[in-house]
Amino acid sequence: MSRTTLTRRGRLAAAGLAAAVAVAMPYAATHAAEPDRPAATAGKKPSQHGQIVSLMRHMSLPQKVGQLFVIEVYGRDADNVSDAAKAGNQKLYGVDTPAQAIAKYQPGGVIYFTTRGPDNIGDAAQVATLSNGLQRAALRQRPKIPLNIAVDQEGGALVARFGPASGATQMPGQMALGADGSTVDAARSAEVIGTELAAVGVTQDYAPVADVNLNPNNPVIGIRSAGADSDAVSDIVAAEVGGFDAGGLSSIAKHFPGHGDTGTDSHYGLPEVTHSREELESIDLPPFEAAIDAGIDAIMTAHVTVPAIDPSGEPATMSEPILTGLLREEMGFDGLIVTDALDMQGASATYPPDVAPVEAFLAGADQLLIPPQMDTAYAAVLDAVKDGTISRKRLDESVYRILKHKLDNEIFESPYVNAAAAPAVFGDPAHKADAQAISDRTTTLVKNDDDLLPLAPGPKDVLVAGWGVDTTAGIAAGFQKRGATTQVLQSGTTPTDAQIDAAVEAAAGKDLVVVPTNNAWQINPATGQPTPASVAQTKLVKALLATDTPVVVAAMRNPYDVTSFPEAATVLDTYGYTSHQLESLVRVLHGEVDPSGKLPVEIPDLFPLGHGLSY
């Protein structure tokens, strides 16, 4: 994609907007002038445009500001929550329940979480009931505007709020899909995720990840990306947009303009993308353009600086040249722009709670996700509109987009879901079968120097030693189903010398050792040296390689682990550790599945992108 292409697209979009018909009917004296009708709706949905205009006429200024925010709430029910959830809601909002938070702010959306504290997600029926309760709370207000209910469900084991305990199908993640290389599988994976989320009342998924992971030491993206080849990532992302749509869910591509070549985690710092404009156009931007061409509803910003676009050093989330100049004007995107969470250090360390939301909105964002201090953020945006820092016209443009998004996705028409039917959707056997079949096409055989694989038939005595309680147990269970006797020695991400010695001792007399690793290559960017976990896991692998027992090393997360022990003869990459990926690994080891996954990234100095062995 060239700069000429972007500029031409931007000119066309601008021309379309200029040609849009301005509606002559004025607002009441307390409202700003009515926004121009976006080019995307001109001549197509006059009834929808009229509905949006009518809604906006009946909205107060505080209600419009409320629509900009996407908040978290504590608890598994809208009205009846635990004491711990009450404490969480009190701390954030000064209220007891999620329903009361909705009534207080009338936000445009809510995001579900599990581990960070809100504890929103149990099983399918519970989440569906929570969603219905939140929508009921929103629709008690006047005018009646339903919520966007969002979640991070990227697929894979890394960013999956609906984990195995929820009963949701665990589809493989982005890098696994990149190893598969099938757009059909990518679309089906997104469709399954979308179908299940829609069944429990979720309306938006913060997926697909559109980042191109060029940096092996990227601490925050890694297997969340489909790979290092921009064209391949673009194909996967475009297919997923269609898949989510087929599943009845709105998707959000992230993290614009690209978080794949960074060495800092934006949850804890502010990364810099050092790509030139030409590199951005050839590497980082094409997947987002592909998402736009596929009809993506929304794009999420990245808390990264991009000097080639904005030399001021503003994070993309707060950068008008990036959000308005590049994304809106040059790339012609007129959907929702959603900030990444404003409580992340990439935003909050630089901008105070009363500054971040205003700056992000002025830069071009429509939805402000999880401000660290909601009262402060809400008041700051409201005051900025009142004093003219944010124009009424600019506010109305975003409110229009948010309402249009909800109408386009039929949230007004169908805000509630059937909670009794949701468990059957989560438990659909076809979903589980597809998850396994797709996972079987992702496992990559990197090395098979001793022709150990596929394993010879017959009973075996197997040691599974290395990272992950569930991972080691799952691999052992797979061997047991095939008649093996197994011993499990789980040693976490940083095995101790005692654990390493125990594994070496246990390997004596075994027929096979399987060693799952998790980032056994990782470098501390501050020191340039391997992390303690990398050092310890490498020591474990090398100690086991020194025994007389055949060893299979399985990199369960990022595929770069082999660089720490290139002498290992048998190495596989799974790009994740869902139950289906563990089963796929065992199937490949036994020759029940011919490995077909190809490396979607380069392993520096060892293996090129596209490498992968088969039987």
In this structure, the strands spanning 298-301 and 250-256 are parallel
Long-range contacts of residues 329-332, Cβ cutoff 8 Å, at least 24 apart? 329/10, 329/13, 329/14, 330/6, 330/7, 330/9, 330/10, 331/6, 331/9, 331/10, 331/285, 331/288, 331/289, 331/292, 332/9, 332/10, 332/12, 332/13, 332/292
Which two tokens mark 218? Answer: 């990227």
Query: What amino acid is encoded at 262 in this protein?
Result: T
Residue 435, number of CB atoms within 10 A of its CB: 25
31 counts as catalytic? no
Give the residue among 448, 405, 455, 378 at the shortest CA–CA distance from 203.
405
Name the 3-class secondary structure at 188. Answer: helix
| Contact call for residues 162 and 151 (beta carbons, < 8 A) | yes
Residue 18, burial from CB neighbour count under 10 angstroms (0-12, 13-18, 19+): exposed
Identify the residue whose tokens are 């939805």. Answer: 367
| Contact call for residues 211 and 259 (beta carbons, < 8 A) | yes
Distance CA 49, CA 43 (A): 10
340 counts as catalytic? yes
Select which of 31, 79, 267, 383 is catalytic. Answer: 267
Dihedral, CA atoms, 351, 352, 353, 354, nearest 10 degrees?
A: -100
Which two tokens mark 223? Answer: 């297997």
Select which of 284, 340, 366, 434 is catalytic. Answer: 340
Q: Which residues contact 194 (CB under 8 A, 6 or more apart)?
A: 205, 243, 244, 245, 246, 247, 248, 249, 251
Spell out the alpha helix ranges (H) of 294-421.
320, 345-348, 356-363, 374-386, 392-408
| Contact call for residues 591 and 455 (beta carbons, < 8 A) | yes
Distance CA 212, CA 226 (A): 7
Identify the residue whose tokens are 């950068």. Answer: 319
Active site residues: 267, 340
